[in-house]
Structure formats: structure tokens, C-alpha cells
């Protein structure tokens, strides 16, 4: 009942609503029953106790509409949850009909090597994806190793498409394709120090931006600049002048472009 109430209160009628969030049921499964109370440890449990005592809260949260499942770090009866296709496919997808996204716990995919079910990081990615992990949390394993695994045929395009489909469906349900900034909230609800210099590091950010400007293609021999006295500015930067330090200003003695308390502006001149 508590899990159901939390999901419904946080997601509201739709996770796409401005004041709603998508919930995640975790840690799947039996994370609270590890041997000796040791975090990330093994769970040794009969199916009867698992389904009677530990699975109902997960199921209630999912039935209430939770869109995500974070998979546990522990092993369940000898199999790491991150590589347990019975848990993630047979039970979660086929029996319960879950349509949302599954995500690994923090660093859980590389932990498959320590569990002894994967030989190296690439093999850990193969095992995790094939077992039903749609998204890798807090590492670059999927983006780094999946292209090679697909190319070698160790992971099929159908398997990759299935995982990708779940990720995109969640983004769609959250309304991120219509408005990727919808959950940022209105400006007047920001804390008073949101635009504080100490938080935004504007001075440092502006300096880095200045020093990182690069001419990608020297068309028409733009550089080096010829020794002429006057330049004409056009486009969005028209009417702006460059000071000796390279900073654009509006008019004579004007305020530097981008010196607004709530945002930066990027300007370019021709």
C-alpha cells in the first residue's frame, strides 16, 4: 500500500505533467534480504518466500504505474540480479507485463566480473544487455562496448533495438520529445541563489569560452587580419563593438554581451 501510494502521489495522472516525476521501483529483487545484512551480498531464499513476502511490494508499485525498475546489486540464489534473465524477462516482462525501463544499479554491470559471470567489461555488457538491462547507470560501458558487440554478432540488432525501445518509450511517456525542459519548473520557483555567481561560475565559464574559440575553416583567407582601420559587423552581432579584451559590448560604453544575471548569450560577428 505504501509503495502504491508513493508512486501515485509522485507520478500523478501522468509523469509528463510539469509537477510530476517518473518513479523507479528498486532494488529488484530481495535487496533487503541479503545474508548477514551485508550490502550487495547474496540472497538465499525459496521461491515460495520470495513471491509471498518480497515480490508483492515491487508488483504493487508497478501495478500503480511506476515506469522504471532499478535492478539490485545482490545475487539471488546464486545468480547476480543484473544477469538474471529469469528475474528480468520471465518474471518482470512476461509474467507481470512490465513495459517500462530497467536500469542497472550504480556500477553493477562491471560488478558482474567480480561475481564471476563475465570475463571482462565487454563481456559484462553482453551479459547484462542479453539478460534484460536496458540502461547502464553511471558508467560508459554500453556506449563503449555495444558497437563492437553488435558488429561481432555477440549482441543482435534486435536485442539492441528492444533495449532502445524501452528507453525511448520512457522519454515519450515523460513528454521529453515535446518539451525536453518541461521538468525544470518555472523561473519564479527557483531558489533565491539560483543565479548566484558562486553557483554559476560565470567569470570562469566566460574565460574558458573565450580561450576555446577556434576558427574551424579559414575561408577566403580571413586570417591573418589585414591592417585596416574599420570593420563592419552584421547579423545578430550587428551594432556590437569589440573591446581590447575581445569582449563584445552594446554601443559605446555598453554593457558586455552576456552580462545578464539570469543567463549567458553567445554572440558572433562577421
- Catalytic residue positions, numbered: 105
| Sign of the CA dihedral with 32 first, then 37, 41, and 45 last | negative
Q: SS3 for 239?
A: coil
178-211 burial by CB neighbour count: b if 16+ within 10 A, else e?
A: eeeeebeeeeeeeeeeeeeeeebebeeeeeeeee
Distance between CA atoms of residues 50 and 30, nearest Å: 7
Please, which residues bridge with residue 135 across strands? 103
Report the C-alpha gap between 61 and 243 in whole angstroms: 60
250: exposed, middle or buried (Cβ count in 10 Å: 0-12, 13-18, 19+): middle
Long-range contact set of residues 138-142: C-beta below 8 Å, sequence gap at least 24: 138/106, 138/107, 139/107, 139/109, 139/110, 141/109, 141/110
Amino acid at each position: 500500500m505504501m509503495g502504491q501510494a508513493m508512486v501515485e502521489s509522485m507520478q500523478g495522472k501522468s509523469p509528463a505533467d510539469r509537477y510530476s516525476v517518473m518513479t523507479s521501483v528498486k532494488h529488484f529483487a530481495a535487496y533487503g534480504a541479503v545474508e548477514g545484512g551485508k550490502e550487495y551480498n547474496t540472497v538465499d531464499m525459496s521461491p515460495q518466500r520470495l513471491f509471498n513476502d518480497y515480490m508483492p511490494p515491487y508488483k504493487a508499485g508497478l501495478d500503480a504505474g511506476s515506469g522504471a525498475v532499478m535492478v539490485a546489486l545482490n545475487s539471488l540464489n546464486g545468480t547476480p540480479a543484473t544477469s538474471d534473465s529469469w528475474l528480468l524477462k520471465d518474471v518482470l516482462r512476461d509474467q507481470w507485463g512490465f513495459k517500462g525501463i530497467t536500469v542497472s544499479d550504480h556500477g553493477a554491470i562491471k560488478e558482474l566480473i567480480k561475481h564471476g559471470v563475465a570475463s571482462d567489461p565487454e563481456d559484462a555488457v553482453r551479459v547484462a544487455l542479453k539478460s534484460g538491462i536496458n540502461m547502464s547507470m553511471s558508467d560508459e560501458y554500453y556506449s563503449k562496448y555495444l558497437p563492437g558487440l553488435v558488429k561481432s554478432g555477440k549482441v543482435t540488432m534486435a536485442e539492441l533495438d528492444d533495449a532502445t525501445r524501452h528507453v525511448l518509450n520512457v522519454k515519450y511517456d515523460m513528454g521529453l520529445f515535446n518539451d525536453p525542459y518541461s521538468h525544470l519548473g518555472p523561473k519564479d520557483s527557483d531558489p533565491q541563489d539560483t543565479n548566484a555567481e558562486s553557483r554559476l561560475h560565470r567569470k570562469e565559464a566566460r574565460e574558458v569560452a573565450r580561450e576555446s574559440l577556434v576558427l574551424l575553416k579559414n575561408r577566403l583567407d580571413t586570417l591573418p587580419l589585414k591592417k585596416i582601420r574599420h570593420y563592419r559587423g552584421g547579423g545578430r552581432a550587428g551594432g556590437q563593438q569589440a573591446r581590447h579584451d575581445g569582449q563584445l559590448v552594446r554601443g559605446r560604453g555598453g554593457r558586455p554581451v552576456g552580462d545578464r544575471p539570469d543567463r549567458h548569450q553567445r554572440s558572433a560577428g562577421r
